């Protein structure tokens, strides 16, 4: 069976080269990657470079506009916004990646079980997926996080319980589309055990679609974390977090518009970078999607 794998790789390589406006796709991916890279460096290095403590209150320096000492100004408690932004980047990126990973694992498992576990398992699991998708996502996450109690951990739990269904659908669909292909059938005929079938023959085909979905998903999760924190369910003061920073600045809109502006721009850049990366990855990695588009065009 291993002999079949290089040929699929070649196939994939060919689609990769054939993916149409190559220059543009690459430009988008490069831009997305560059923004993401800057953000990661900002999150990793920013806190140790900054001379300020993100939570120490300096009341004589409150509501100061951008200056050399405070490039993005200070908030109502005199805290340096650039410093809080850097610490907040750690929180946002870590939470978004964590929630996305949990979604991915739950969704992939459910999708695999549904596609390979027989009719009854499939029906039950896919109804479960339908039920999850029946709720507007943020509403469900808001309620779960609220009932569990406000904390960052509970926001991750809530967002993980909410977003897995689309992974399950994608994984189930991909497995169903390759289930009858000769290499899977012959592996089954050879009596390959389930876990081996999944690991050797199915998972390699799921990497691309799941990776694309996950990359696009990180942006959505960043927005959701910020939204829930803005409402008061996520990070609790004085933890620096982007959504909370916007909530803190809302009473000083006129006097100090920079408090609200800076974290909003940070959230937007993060979401843009993951959207660009995800779109680019899809064009480059996901032959199904390309084929689908080409088929529809003819």
Write the CB contacts of 47 (distance below 8 Å, at least 6 apart in sequence): 54, 83, 86, 87, 90
Distance CA 123, CA 119 (A): 6
Binding of other proteins at residue 121 (CB under 8 A)? no
DSSP letter, residue 197: I
Q: How far is the CB of 271 from other proteins (least distance, A)?
A: 4
Distance CA 112, CA 109 (A): 5
Pick between residue 208 and residue 273 the one whose CB is nearest to other proteins.
Answer: 273
Pick between residue 210 and residue 233 the one whose CB is nearest to other proteins.
Answer: 233
Q: How far is the CB of 1 from other proteins (least distance, A)?
A: 31
Q: How far is the CB of 27 from other proteins (least distance, A)?
A: 10
Pick between residue 82 and residue 271 the one whose CB is nearest to other proteins.
Answer: 271
Distance CA 10, CA 54 (A): 51
Pick between residue 10 and residue 255 the one whose CB is nearest to other proteins.
Answer: 255
For the window 195-234, what string marks contact with other proteins as x by the rule CB under 8 A?
------------------------x---x--xx--xxxx-
Q: How far is the CB of 131 from other proteins (least distance, A)?
A: 4
Binding of other proteins at residue 76 (CB under 8 A)? no
Segment near other proteins (CB under 8 A), from 110-118, 176-184, 185-193, 249-257?
249-257
Q: How is residue 240 written in tokens? A: 């620096």
Residue 75: strand, helix, or coil: coil
Segment near other proteins (CB under 8 A), from 69-77, 187-195, 262-270, 284-292?
262-270
Segment near other proteins (CB under 8 A), from 54-62, 85-93, 94-102, 134-142?
134-142
Any bridge partners for residue 74, and if so which? Answer: 80
Residue 77: strand, helix, or coil: coil
Q: How many residues sit close enough to other proteins to count as binding (CB under 8 A)?
A: 48
Write the CB contacts of 73 (distance below 8 Å, at least 6 apart in sequence): 63, 64, 65, 66, 67, 81, 256, 258, 259, 262
Of 9, 253, 292, 294, the one binding other proteins (CB under 8 A) is 253
Write the CB contacts of 35 (distance below 8 Å, at least 6 apart in sequence): 269, 270, 272, 273, 276
Binding of other proteins at residue 295 (CB under 8 A)? no
Q: How far is the CB of 114 from other proteins (least distance, A)?
A: 12
Q: How far is the CB of 59 from other proteins (least distance, A)?
A: 24
Binding of other proteins at residue 38 (CB under 8 A)? no
Q: Report yes or no: 93 and 271 within 8 Å, Cβ to Cβ.
A: no
C-alpha angle 62/94/172, rounded to 5°? 145
The CA distances from residue 212 to 5, 72, 256, 285, in Å, are: 21, 34, 39, 8
Distance CA 273, CA 49 (A): 24
Residues of this chain that bind other proteins (CB under 8 A): 21, 126-128, 130-131, 134-140, 142-144, 146-149, 219, 223, 226-227, 230-233, 243, 246, 249-250, 253-254, 257, 260-261, 263-264, 267-269, 271-272, 275-276, 296-297
């Amino acid at each position: 069976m291993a002999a079949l794998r290089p040929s699929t790789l070649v196939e994939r390589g060919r689609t990769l080269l054939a993916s149409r406006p190559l220059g543009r796709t690459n430009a988008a991916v490069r831009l997305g990657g560059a923004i993401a890279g800057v953000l990661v460096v900002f999150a990793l290095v920013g806190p140790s470079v900054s001379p300020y403590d993100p939570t120490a209150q300096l009341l004589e320096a409150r509501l100061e506009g951008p200056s050399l000492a405070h490039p993005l100004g200070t908030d109502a408690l005199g805290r340096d916004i650039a410093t809080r932004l850097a610490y907040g980047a750690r929180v946002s990126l870590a939470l978004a990646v964590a929630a996305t990973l949990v979604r991915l694992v739950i969704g992939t498992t459910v999708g695999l079980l549904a596609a390979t576990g027989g009719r009854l398992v499939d029906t039950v699991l896919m109804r479960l997926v339908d039920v999850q998708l029946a709720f507007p996502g943020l509403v469900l996450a808001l309620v779960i996080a609220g009932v569990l109690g406000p904390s960052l951990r509970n926001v991750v739990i809530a967002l993980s319980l909410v977003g897995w269904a689309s992974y399950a659908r994608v994984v189930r669909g991909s497995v169903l589309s390759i289930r009858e292909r000769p290499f899977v059938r012959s592996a089954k005929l050879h009596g390959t055990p389930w876990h081996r079938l999944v690991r050797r023959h199915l998972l390699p085909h799921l990497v691309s679609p799941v990776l694309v979905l996950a990359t696009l998903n990180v942006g959505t999760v960043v927005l959701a974390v910020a939204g829930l924190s803005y409402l008061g369910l996520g990070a609790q003061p004085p933890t620096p977090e982007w959504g909370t920073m916007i909530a803190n600045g809302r009473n000083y809109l006129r006097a100090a518009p920079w408090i609200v502006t800076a974290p909003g721009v940070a959230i937007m850049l993060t979401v843009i970078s993951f959207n660009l990366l995800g779109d680019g990855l899809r064009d480059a990695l996901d032959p199904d999607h390309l084929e689908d588009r080409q088929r529809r065009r003819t």
